[in-house]
Structure 1
Amino acid sequence: MIYGQGIDIASLKRIKAAYQKNPKFAAKVLTEGELAVFETLSPKRQVEFLAGRFSAKEAYSKAVGSGIGSQVGFSDLEILNNKQGRPVIVKHPLQNKLRVHLSITHDNEVVVTSVILEKLGGFERLKSYFK
């Protein structure tokens, strides 16, 4: 069962400007694990990575219904890539209650993210219905 959905669009130019103005911006948005990946990337890829994580965390907070800051902070969410390279939210405040479906895409100017939160157990009940 769908609990919530959030979508966010972020400007790569705006994220790049924020990071260039204040390099601590990355540490504000990214967890230690995300920062470790960020530091291995080329400058262009760093901007895409930072913008993607920023936007995905905003989308998650919208799916929860709170926005960043009131109930969910940037450090409450960690997004790492799985073995196939797909971004996965590996840490979030409701991980014992909700499954997260995340999509991140970007082009030369923007990054777009979508988060769907699914209540755990809903799909299993649905599968048993069709047996």
Structure 2
Amino acid sequence: MVVGTGIDIVEIERVRDAIFKNERFIFRYFTEAERTYWQSRSSKAESLAGIFAAKEAVIKAIGSGYMQDIEINHDASGKPFVQLSGQTAIKIAAIKEAVMHITISHTRLYAVAHALLESRCD
């Protein structure tokens, strides 16, 4: 059963500007693991914009949340997945058999992400 869905789109140029103009942006919105992943990528602004869009999409799917409680990771094949902590994880724990699905895509100008929160209970 679908519990919530969220989508977000981000202008990559705005993220690129934020990276170079305001170092606090990176530390305010991204976890250490996300920053490490971002540093390893050749398309840095695109990668960070995709992660930012995914975090926003997750917040919309849940209905609330904190950016630092939402971590976007990637498996060995590059598929993104969500790890939650703090109050956001507590909120999700109240949903029986909750599963969060995310997808991220980007073009030269925009990054977009979609999140789908489901309960596998009937």
The TM-score with structure 2 as length reference comes to 0.85
Matches within 5 A, 1:108-123: 108-119=108-119, 121-122=120-121
Show the counterpart of 1:24: 24
The TM-score with structure 1 as length reference comes to 0.80
CA deviation map 1:14-64 (0-9, x unaligned):
11111111022112111111112222233xx11111111111111111112
Q: Does 1:63 align with 2:56?
A: no
Runs of 5+ unmatched residues, structure 1: 67-71, 126-131
Runs of 5+ unmatched residues, structure 2: none
Q: CA RMSD in A?
A: 1.5
Letter in 2 for 1:49: S
Conservation of the 8 A alpha-carbon contact between 1:7 and 1:114: yes
Conservation of the 8 A alpha-carbon contact between 1:77 and 1:89: yes
Matches within 5 A, 1:81-96: 81-92=74-85, 93-94=88-89, 95-96=92-93
Conservation of the 8 A alpha-carbon contact between 1:29 and 1:53: no
Aligned-residue offset at 1:91: 2.4
CA deviation map 1:94-115 (0-9, x unaligned):
4533211101000000011100
Q: 2: distance between equivalents of 1:35 and 1:22? A: 15
